[in-house]
Amino acid sequence: MPVIRSGEAVTHEIHGARFVSYATPLTGSRELCAWRGEIPPGTKAPAHTVNREEIFHLLVGDLLITLDGRTERISAGDTVIIGPGATLAVENASEHTAISWVTTSVGLTARLADGTLLTPPWAN
């Protein structure tokens, strides 16, 4: 039984946010990836288009989520379903770090507006 202890999670940092990776093929998952996102105050992540569905659940704080051009304020306890091919941007306009839990299928990629393709290690 794969058990990933909190001290064994791998932390990645990009675009001002931290991604603490728990479930990936490297830790024993075959189909799904899961991570905790830590979005500091003032962080505005660039818009990116994803190739896989993501389930984004906000555990702590408030965020502005722009999905395919529509912006919504979400609060702790809210969940956003991001479909494959959707363009997502995340902004923390608050004064506190927001914490999220995200799940997706193995093989997630994200394409930035400038065409850069990201293959996040926490989702592959």
User: For the domain bounded by 9-123, which CATH number is listed?
Assistant: 2.60.120.10
pLDDT > 90 fraction of the chain, expressed in percent and rounded:
98
Q: What is the Cα gyration radius of the chain?
A: 14
* Beta-sheet pairing, 87-91 with 98-105: unpaired
Average pLDDT, the chain: 96
pLDDT at 19 over 90: yes
